[in-house]
Amino acid sequence: MEDFLEKGQLLIVLFWFFEKEIYKDLLKSGFKA
């Protein structure tokens, strides 16, 4: 069960970071356009 929780937390962190990077790219392209 602990392994499952750790993997879940890792996925959440990766997803949050990925979403943040995409958001930054969208802002950059939005300002450039």
The predicted pLDDT at position 29 comes to 87
Name the residue range of residue 28's domain.
1-32
Q: Is residue 21 helix, strand or coil? A: helix
20, HSE (Cβ side, Cα atoms, 13 Å)? 6
The predicted pLDDT at position 9 comes to 92
- How far from 27 is each of 7, 17, 18, 32, CA to CA, in Å? 30, 15, 14, 9
The predicted pLDDT at position 33 comes to 53
The predicted pLDDT at position 4 comes to 75
- The count of structural domains within the chain is 1
Q: Which segments in the chain show pLDDT lower than 70? A: 1, 32-33
